[in-house]
Amino acid sequence: MRIGLVGYGTGGRHFHAPFIAAARGVVLSGVVARAEATIARVRADLPDTPIYPSLTAMIEAGGIDAVTITTPPQTRRELVLQAIDAGLHVVADKPFAPSAEAGRELDLAVKRKGVVLGVFHNRRFDADVLTLQKVLSSQKLGRLWRVHSRMDLNDPVTLEAGPTGGLLRDLGSHLVDQMLWLLGPVTSVKADLDIVDHARGRTDASFVLTLNHTSGVHSHLSASKLNRLAVKEFRAYGDAGSFVSSGTDVQAQAIFAGKRPADDLSAWGYEQEDLWGSLLTADGMERIPSEQGRYHAYYEAFASAVATGGPPPVTAEEAIATLCVLDAARLSAREGRTINV
């Protein structure tokens, strides 16, 4: 699958291009970049990859089957629709739409055109999420009661400010998607948002969400970027025991340290042994080996969907369900009440 990358900021450079390069059956066939500094970064990182000034120029040049749209949130809708209209398959970065209603518009456009739209909820492929999934699937916790998910990043410069940004749309998209994937649909949402005044407008800078799932399980999600904390933690409680993991953002840390998955894919994405999670039951404490974090698997699954006509790794319908929860969370925070979904 020949894929073009539209945008080469932090997302395109660190969370898309390296994993496209590592994915089997996928080749990066072009990058859209405009600013001189961005073009220089593309030339340094990807010297053999064509650079285009716009999505229109990339489409006119031909030679691509799909595009990833990883531009700022307020620009994504028009670019996704342009790519769909050109008959291209699309990976849309999160949040792929500002609301569930806007997401349904994109889903309808894709179905009319008959192309594949995948949403880049890549954090389903985090090492700790996949390890938690393994524990939940083992049934060793018995009847599951609740799951806590915390992601505090000491990363204030990447807080997307203003009415189209905010941490709820950013990390909230990932944390909600993870819980929907692991625990199933949500019936109600209670949210508290912490707001800062920013030059671009008032911005939610941290959040706490409580989700009630149709399965009877409840999940509790929190995140921040401004509080000088770096904690990535899961806790799961059931009537037969508990599981706790507190590790690192292992794939992101490796990328920012200059490592690339294609250099040694077999060793990529594992949490170090002293940070493995612990399963505690009547039988005692058991350390649970890390599953492999594998963002590259997203692109392999997307390429398979394009080739076979099957579903992408994260469908538009799944992403719309996440947006429904985020929409309910904003309403809950504004009105100070629990919102039924």
Is 318 within the bounds of a domain?
Answer: no
Is 269 within the bounds of a domain?
Answer: yes
Q: Which domain holds residue 104?
A: 2-120+299-311
Is 324 within the bounds of a domain?
Answer: no
Same domain, 70 and 166: no
pTM attached to this predicted model:
0.95
Average confidence score pLDDT of the chain: 96
Same domain, 68 and 212: no
What's the pLDDT at 93?
A: 94
Q: Give the span between the Cα atoms of 44 and 32, in whole angstroms.
A: 15
Is 335 within the bounds of a domain?
Answer: no
Q: Give the span between the Cα atoms of 325 and 61, in whole angstroms.
A: 39
Same domain, 179 and 47: no
Q: What are phi and psi of 62, to 5 degrees?
A: 75, -175
Q: Give the span between the Cα atoms of 1 and 323, in whole angstroms.
A: 28
> Per the structure, how many domains does the chain have?
2
Is 6 within the bounds of a domain?
Answer: yes
Same domain, 76 and 177: no
Is 323 within the bounds of a domain?
Answer: no
Q: b or e along 75-105 (b: 16 or more beta carbons within 10 Å of the residue's beta carbon)?
A: ebbebbbbbbebebbbbbbbbbbbbbebbee
Same domain, 60 and 144: no
Q: Hunting for tokens 């006509």 — which residue is that?
A: 309
CATH number for the domain harbouring residue 198: 3.30.360.10
What's the pLDDT at 69?
A: 97
Same domain, 134 and 27: no
Q: Which two tokens stand for residue 187?
A: 């019936």
What's the pLDDT at 311?
A: 95
Same domain, 267 and 303: no
Region for residue 328 given its phi and psi (left: phi exceeds 0; alpha: psi -120 to 50; beta: otherwise): alpha
Same domain, 278 and 132: yes
Same domain, 151 and 258: yes
Same domain, 166 and 219: yes
Is 156 within the bounds of a domain?
Answer: yes
CATH number for the domain harbouring residue 94: 3.40.50.720
Is 128 within the bounds of a domain?
Answer: yes
Same domain, 270 and 128: yes
> Which of the residues in the chain have pLDDT under 50?
none
Same domain, 176 and 251: yes
Q: Strand 186-196 to strand 339-340: parallel, antiparallel, or no bridges (unpaired)? A: antiparallel
Nearest to 103 by CA among 229, 157, 90: 90
- DSSP annotation of 12 reads I
For residue 232, give every residue at least 6 positions away whose Cβ sits within 8 Å of its Cβ, in sequence order, or none.
Answer: 128, 150, 151, 152, 246, 247, 248, 249
